[in-house]
């Protein structure tokens, strides 16, 4: 009887451990942003609801992929493709114009499991820059391709080519006219991005942007600079930034957050707050923030503006959306 009882206890214990292990393995988390900035006076209830609708549709794409067992790289790329195709955001369709009246797009993606990364900058005719960045990572020995070279590579890989006018919208044309006529200042903010942890414990980050409105001379911001606006490392976190890119480059924001976590053992939230509020703010770099997910599935949104378009979802059924600071909506599936 004693042997039988011990055997039964052992079987139950093994089953419990196995069940716990499986539940832990299936944990995933995903977050996205659609840019940060000051809360505009034109932000009506209807306009905010429109943003929330598209943010939730985008996050749903990512969570469905992660639920199906797809990788974090696949999830973040798919979410950013959706945001690039949505004219509400400064990436892909709806991107801002340069001072010359054209669109120059940047994007980056990074795999936290092996630190492989790909990025493109200053491309004018590839419909989805994030797909080009993914191909740089997967199909070349390089990290960053720019301008005509990046476009030629993307075309050779079969990506969809569009006329530069495809990226424009009526709102962007009107904005360009105001900047050209000195009725509006250039704006360095505006980006989309996604970070995710998959069920295999791997992190990934992806970011895409039209850059600074009214930018000159082929300016490139932080998005395609690995470690500045985009970074992922399985040891710490996946980060995607949005803000004044020059400050994000100088402070190597995304990497700095991960470094504080790895070398000072800070939590994700503490590290992000340290960088955004104690390092970026004193430099005059207000007007942006980051989204991040760490290796344990903790999600963080840290921004020093009145607005950041954002959404998130977790494997435990929690999800949510927010536009203005302090006005998040949380739900349970």
Residue owning tokens 């994700």: 268
Q: What is the pLDDT of residues 166-224, one digit of tens each?
A: 999 999 999 889 988 888 887 766 899 999 999 999 999 999 999 999 999 999 999 99
- Element (H or E) spanning 4, and its range? helix 2-25
pLDDT of residue 7: 43
List beta partners, residue 119.
108, 144
Contact between 322 and 56 (Cβ < 8 Å): no
pLDDT at 121 over 90: yes
**Could you give the CA distance from residue 320 to residue 314 in angstroms, rounded to a whole number?**
10
For every residue of 61-107, DSSP letters joined together read: HHHHHHHTT--HHHHHHHHHHHHHHSTTSSSSTTPPP-TTS---EEE
| Active-site residue, 13 included | no
pLDDT at 260 over 50: yes
Entry pTM: 0.91
Q: What tokens does 31 get?
A: 């977050």
Domains of the chain in sequence order: 28-332 (3.60.20.30)
Q: What is the pLDDT of residues 44-101, one digit of tens each?
A: 899 899 999 999 999 999 999 999 999 999 999 999 999 999 999 999 999 999 999 9
Q: Select which of 191, 236, 242, 305 is catalytic.
A: 191
Cα torsion through 67, 230, 123, 95, rounded to 10? 80
Q: What tokens does 234 get?
A: 């399985």
Q: In what order do the strands lie in the sheet with 237-242?
A: 230-232, 237-242, 289-294, 299-303
Summary count for the chain: helices (H), strands (E): 10, 13
**Could you give the CA distance from residue 315 to residue 30 in angstroms, rounded to a whole number?**
9
Across the range 110-138, mean pLDDT stands at 98
């Amino acid at each position: 009887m004693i042997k039988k009882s011990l055997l039964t206890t052992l079987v139950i214990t093994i089953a419990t451990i196995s069940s716990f292990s499986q539940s832990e393995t299936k944990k995933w988390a995903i977050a996205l942003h659609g840019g940060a900035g000051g809360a505009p006076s034109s932000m009506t209830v209807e306009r905010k609801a429109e943003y929330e609708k598209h943010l939730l549709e985008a996050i749903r794409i990512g969570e469905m992929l992660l639920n199906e067992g797809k990788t974090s790289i696949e999830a973040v790329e798919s979410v950013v493709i959706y945001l690039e195709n949505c004219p509400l955001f400064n990436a892909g369709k709806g991107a801002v114009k340069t001072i010359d009246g054209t669109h120059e797009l940047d994007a980056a993606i990074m795999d936290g499991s092996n630190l492989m990364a790909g990025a493109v900058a200053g491309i004018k005719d590839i419909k989805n820059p994030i797909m080009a960045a993914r191909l740089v990572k997967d199909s070349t020995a390089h990290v960053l391709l720019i301008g005509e070279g990046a476009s030629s590579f993307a075309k050779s890989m079969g990506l969809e080519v569009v006329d530069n006018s495809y990226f424009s919208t009526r709102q962007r044309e009107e904005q360009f006219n105001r900047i050209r006529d000195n009725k509006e200042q250039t704006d360095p903010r505006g980006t989309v991005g996604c970070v995710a942890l998959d069920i295999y414990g791997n992190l990934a980050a992806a970011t895409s942007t039209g850059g600074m409105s009214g930018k000159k001379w082929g300016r490139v911001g932080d998005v395609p600079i690995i470690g500045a606006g985009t970074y992922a490392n399985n040891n710490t976190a996946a980060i995607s930034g949005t803000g004044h890119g020059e400050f994000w480059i100088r402070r190597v924001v995304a990497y700095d957050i991960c470094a504080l976590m790895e070398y000072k053992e800070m939590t994700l939230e503490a590290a992000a707050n340290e960088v955004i509020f104690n390092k970026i703010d004193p430099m005059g770099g207000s007007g942006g923030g980051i989204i991040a997910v760490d290796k344990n599935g903790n999600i963080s949104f840290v921004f020093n503006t009145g607005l950041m378009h954002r959404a998130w979802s977790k494997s435990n059924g929690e999800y949510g959306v927010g536009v203005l600071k302090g006005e998040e909506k949380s739900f349970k599936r």
